[in-house]
Amino acid sequence: MSKKFYITTPIYYPSASPHLGHAYCTTMCDIIARGKRLRGFDTYFLTGLDEHGEKIEDNAKAKGVSPQAFVDEVAVKFLDLWKTMHISNDDFIRTTEPRHYETVQKIFSKFIEDDDIYLSSYKGWYCVHEESYWTDTQVGEKHLCPECGRPCEEKEEPAYFFKCGKYVDGLLDFYEKNPKFITPEGRKAEMINNFIKPGLNDLCVSRTTFDWGIPVKEAPGHVVYVWLDALTNYITALGYLQKDDSKFQKYWMDPDTEIVHIIGADITRFHTIYWPMFLKAMNLREPTRVFVHGLMMMKDGKMSKSKGNVIPVPPLVDRFGVDAVRLYLCRDIIFGQDGQFTPEQFVERLNADLANNLGNLLNRTVSMINKYFDGLIPTYEGDLNELDKSLHELAEKTIKSYEVYNDDLKVSEAYASVFELVSAANKYIEDSAPWVLAKDPEKKNILASCMSHLANVIYLAGVLLSPVLVTKSEKIYDQLGVPAALRNYETATKFGSISGLKVNKGDQLFPRLDEAAEVEFIKELMAAPKEKAAA
């Protein structure tokens, strides 16, 4: 039986059109999901939209449309972007869908019934942008949101509260027993020291000052507050408390399923403190890991819709291809750390990894196999010399490190290891000097071994890189003459498994880019007027 793996993005807030920051998180999840499927894991990949809340209601009013019409329009833009980026999600959940809406009402009713929530009133400083209440201490004298720096307004309203105190000791015990639950590790200390140790207040889980939300059945005028609504998407999408809950049983309830939430730093508190508490109140298991990815920064700070400093994705994909954009996101920003986008780094990465390294290796190897062996990949006869042995050993080591890195969500490192193998193969050509071997008939077998090693390394690299290079990996197989039946992980990781195949010299897969011209194109794209989200 194959191992089961369930991965989710945060559900995005559709206050304006999506951009490269959204594409980053979803693409990294897609690369992880594709990598797991490649290796035979039974994988389920969820993304979607968090469509309720005061901010959506305000943005819709400003545009003169209903909140539903507003989110419907933006939802199409997200779906178009996922299509552009070749995202392979299995489901797309919207919190306005009946399957989610009705289940959230059932969850809220169960919390009331089990005495996990109670009715009281809330007075505090509220930030519309973050959809969060803050204390006097947190907002300071200027009453600014500690998360985004915007002015907060003092509000008082009747509200339901979730009893956090009931579950806080269990949560700390869970942290202790599951040290990798929050990754990177520093985020756990932040949650404990900044939120739990100072004294965790009960969480406000309903609102009465706006209408755009899921109504609380037991209390007319109350709508379910965004975090209880939004967080439960991970189980409502699987069919929790619905007629058909087979996916929920398979991908959530099975203790052997690895459940991974990929999120941004700004929502860590909700996913690592309140979400495990909600699950405990429902008598459900916690996720295996919550992985906090870094921010995509621009020179003027975080890429954000409200700043209008975002980069639209379709023009980048049209110009450079989807594989190039996916590669940049995976390679230039270490997963789990902040990274800065610059046009220069973007073009340099594509030239270094694709044109100079992988593209060059493929082009030279296919040309030499055509020239020296009439286009047929020679049979693998083992490692005939130290150069062969060294390259073969590195290939085996790469397979192992690729699996270990990917399983630990060190995605950038996993793909860096593959490009190290590609670099080593290019050096192997220089060290083996096949053009010299070809002049000596007695060294035909060494030349054959050289071509066989190169073809097998490219084949392996093509398969290992296929979760990133979603279109070009197929072109690599085409040029090597690899039939559909052999385009898989199991065959490619058995070194020497392609012999006698006829290579097909094609166009250069990754032509070298004119750095000055392409940097100028991206700068013009960045300078173009952008749609801004309401503050």
For helices 20-38 and 386-407, angle between their N-to-C axes, nearest 10 degrees: 120
CB 456 within 8 A of CB 495: yes
Given a contact cutoff of 8 angstroms between Cβ atoms, the answer to whether 309 and 530 are in contact is yes
Give residue for tokens 């700068």.
Answer: 523
Class of domain 322-492: mainly alpha
Spatial CA neighbour of 20 closest among 261, 315, 415: 315
Closest CA to 22 of 315, 14, 317: 14
pLDDT at residue number 84: 96
| pLDDT tens, position by position, 375-388 | 999 999 999 999 99
Q: Is the pLDDT of residue 422 over 80?
A: yes
Please check the confidence at residue 303 and state whether its pLDDT lies above 60.
no
Going by pLDDT thresholds of 50, 70 and 90, the confidence category of residue 4 is very high
DSSP 8-class letter at 144: B
In angstroms, the CA 318 to CA 215 distance is: 43
| pLDDT band for position 339 (cuts 50, 70, 90) | confident
DSSP assignment string, 1-34: ---EEEEEPPPB--SS---HHHHHHHHHHHHHHH
3-state helix, strand, coil in the chain (%, to 5): 50, 15, 35
Name residue 407's amino acid: D
Residues above pLDDT 90, as percent of the chain:
78
CA-CA distance, 506 to 472, in Å (whole number)? 12
- Measured CA to CA in angstroms, residue 286 lies from 25, 63, 85, 255, 280 at distances of 22, 40, 30, 10, 8
Q: Minimal CA–CA distance to 278: which of 189, 167, 434, 114? A: 167
Read off the pLDDT of each residue in 28-45 and give the average, rounded to a whole number. 98
pTM for the model stands at: 0.92
Q: How confident is the model at residue 307 (pLDDT cuts 50, 70, 90)?
A: low
d(CA 233, CA 251): 14
Mean pLDDT of 390-395: 98
Q: How far is CA 507 from CA 61, 256, 271, 326, in A?
A: 52, 45, 47, 21
Tell me the pLDDT tens digit for each residue of 213-234.
Answer: 999 999 999 999 888 999 999 9
Asked if the peptide bond before residue 184 counts as cis, ω within 30 degrees of 0, the response is yes
User: What is the pLDDT averaged over residues 200-210?
Assistant: 91
